Amino acid sequence: MKLLDTLQDEHVLIDRVLGSLRTYVGRLVDGTADPADGRRFASFFTEFAGHFHHDREERVLFRALVTAAELPADRGPVYALAREHAEMEEWLRELAPLLERRPQSGDDRARLRALVMRYSHALWRHIDAENSVLFPQGEERLVQCGIRELADRPMSEAEAAAREGAAALLVGYPPVEDDALTRGDGCFMCRAHGETCAGLEAEWWTELEWEEFHSRDASD
């Protein structure tokens, strides 16, 4: 499904720019980064990751899963991931002004580090959950409903400019990985699991899928 392939490609870029953001914040704290670049990072995550990427996930993919595949909108993966979009958007609004100026005190530095840590960890794990669970399982259910393609839309000028600006940020602030963050595939790696979502099997599986699962398990 072309839209899902495109969204996964966008995840690769968003993932890398998150690593670049972490490099930028480290340099901003020690006084070696240009605060003007903070505005570019804020624009990328607001315009490209939020207004373009997350918007299409919600308005196209999530909507199709609810209306065509008749999956629940008030619980389970669709609900949990849409809720995370809103949560991360709120965190970004809090973080964005701090990216555009040098922290003036130890408290400012600690707050900036804490906010970017929370935001980056959440978005990295969100990407993993969508790539490993929502996209493949959602596509399977849409195909079963006869939907093999989903509509897409072009970027606005602001969204395209934010994406183009990422290239220079990646060069100026080479991405880093966070060794303290455990990443991986599957529902149990998702931060929503056990809180706002009981897991794919509990939320989405039909009686037939459970019967097939028990049948395979019994034959092993």
**Which of 148-152, 159-163, 211-215 shows the lowest mean pLDDT across its residues?**
211-215
Residue 164 in 3-state DSSP?
helix
**16: closest CA among 54, 44, 43, 47?**
44
| pLDDT of 201 strictly over 90 | no
| pLDDT of 215 strictly over 80 | no
Residue 102 corresponds to which tokens in the numbers above?
């040098």
| pLDDT of 210 strictly over 90 | no
Report the pLDDT value the prediction gives residue 67, as an integer from 0 to 100. 96
**33: closest CA among 142, 213, 172, 205?**
172
Report the pLDDT value the prediction gives residue 194, as an integer from 0 to 100. 77
- List C-alpha distances in Å: 191 to 10, 94, 167: 21, 21, 30
Report the pLDDT value the prediction gives residue 134, as an integer from 0 to 100. 95
**pTM for the predicted model, two decimal places:** 0.92
Report the pLDDT value the prediction gives residue 206, as an integer from 0 to 100. 72
Residue 175 corresponds to which tokens in the numbers above?
């991405």
How far apart CA 137 and CA 153 sit, in angstroms, is 23
pLDDT tens track for 98-142 = 999 999 899 999 999 999 999 999 999 999 999 999 999 999 999
191: pLDDT confidence band, cut at 50, 70 and 90?
Answer: confident
Q: For residue 73, list its beta bridge partners.
A: none
Report the pLDDT value the prediction gives residue 219, as an integer from 0 to 100. 65
- Spell out the domains of the chain, with CATH numbers in brackets: 2-219 (1.20.120)
Residue 116 corresponds to which tokens in the numbers above?
């970017």
Cβ neighbours for 53, distance < 8 A, ≥ 6 positions apart = 7, 10, 14
How far apart CA 220 and CA 211 sit, in angstroms, is 15
What count of residues does the chain have?
220
The single residue listed with the structure tokens 């897991």 is 199
Q: Output Rg (C-alpha) for the chain, integer angstroms.
A: 19
| pLDDT of 220 strictly over 60 | no
pLDDT tens track for 2-23 = 999 999 999 999 999 999 999 9
Q: What is the pLDDT of the chain when averaged over all its residues?
A: 92
Taking residues 153-178, report their average pLDDT. Answer: 97
Report the pLDDT value the prediction gives residue 15, as an integer from 0 to 100. 98
| Residue 109 contacts residue 103 (beta carbons within 8 Å) | yes
| pLDDT of 200 strictly over 90 | no
Angle at alpha carbon of residue 8, lines to 213 and 188, rounded to 5°: 40
| pLDDT of 218 strictly over 80 | no
